[in-house]
A = this chain, B = another copy of it.
C-alpha cells in the first residue's frame, strides 16, 4: 500500500502494510484533499507520526461481518473515532472523546494512502450524483456547517468571513445561504476573484473598517484573532476556526471591554454538508487547482500553500 507518511515532520512516500483493524472497514481511497491542518502538521504541529490526510472519498472493500451492508459502497467518513465508553461517547459526541483517535491527525493512519480503515459508524454513503471530486469536500463543508449549529444566523446578521483560503471560501458559501449580509475578506487577489466569480461579496481585508455582528476567523494566521476583534461589534461574536499553534501575541482586553463572545468551532455534521454538495448550493469545482498522484506530493504541498484545493488521486 503506497502512503504518504509523516515522521518527525518529514513527509515521504512509503510502501506500508494494508490497514488491518478488527472493527474497521477497509476503504480504497479514490480522492483525498490537502487541508490547512495538513500543511500545519508538516510544519510540526500535533506531533503526529503516521499516514497524513483526513479528507477523502473511497470504496469499501472489506468489512467486519456485522457491517457487510457497507461492502462496495462509495463513502466519506467522519474523522473522530471514539472509545464508546467515556463521558462524551456516551453522549454520542465522539468529536470530544477523551480517548479519541483522529484520522491522519492523532493516533490513526490517515487518507493519503491507497487504503484506510474506519469503523462503519463513521461512514456516510455518497449519492451517485455526487462525483468523487465533490464528495471529497464533505469533511470541510461539514466543518463550515458546524457554525450553523453553534450560532443563530438570521437574514439580517452581518457576517465577515476573515480568510479567503479553502475553509473561508466554503464557510462563505454555506453562511450566505442564511444571510445576504456576508462579506469574505482576504489578502489574495486571485482567491478573492474566484470567490467573486462564485457570487460571493469579497473584499481586500485591509480596506474594510466596518463592524460586523459575527466574524468568522479562518485565516490560519496567529494574528487573525486580533484582526477579528477589530472587525466585530461590541457584544458581537467571533467564531474561531484556525488552530494556530503560536501564542496569540495580541492583548485580549477587547474581549471583556467590548463583551465579545469567542466561539471555538471544529468538526461538523456530514449529512447537511452532503446535501449542500449534492444540491449544488455549495460549489467546489472552482476551488480545485490540481489533482495529482502521491508521487507528486512535494509539488502538491507547495501548491497547496497558494491554491485553494489540491487533491490526490491514488490511482495516478
Contact A253 B244 (CB under 8 A): yes
State whether the Cβ of A262 lies closer than 8 Å to any Cβ in chain B.
yes
| CB contact under 8 A between A257 and B235, given known A225-B252, A251-B248 | no
Convert A173-204 into 0s and 1s, putting 1 for each residue whose CB lies closer than 8 angstroms to a CB of B: 00000000000000000000000000000000
- 15 A-B pairs (CB sep. < 8 Å): A93-B235, A96-B235, A96-B258, A241-B256, A246-B251, A247-B247, A247-B248, A247-B250, A248-B249, A256-B264, A256-B265, A259-B263, A261-B261, A261-B262, A262-B262
- Highest count of chain B CB atoms <10 Å: which of A96, A245, A251: A251
State whether the Cβ of A71 lies closer than 8 Å to any Cβ in chain B.
no
Contact A261 B264 (CB under 8 A): yes
Q: Kindly list 20 other residue pairs between chains A and B, CB separation below 8 angstroms, not including A96-B234, A247-B247.
A: A96-B235, A225-B252, A242-B256, A243-B253, A243-B256, A245-B251, A247-B249, A247-B251, A248-B248, A248-B250, A248-B252, A256-B265, A256-B266, A258-B264, A259-B263, A259-B264, A260-B264, A261-B261, A261-B263, A262-B263
CB contacts (< 8 Å) of A148 on chain B: these are none
Copies of this protein in the complex: 2
Convert A226-246 into 0s and 1s, putting 1 for each residue whose CB lies closer than 8 angstroms to a CB of B: 000000001100001111111
State whether the Cβ of A301 lies closer than 8 Å to any Cβ in chain B.
no
Number of interface residues of A (CB under 8 A): 35
Of residues 242 to 299 in A, which have CB atoms within 8 Å of B's CB atoms?
Answer: 242-266
A142 → chain B closest CB, angstroms: 14
Nearest B-chain residue to A260, judged by Cβ: B264
CB contacts (< 8 Å) of A95 on chain B: these are 259
| CB contact under 8 A between A240 and B255, given known A88-B234, A234-B88, A248-B249 | yes
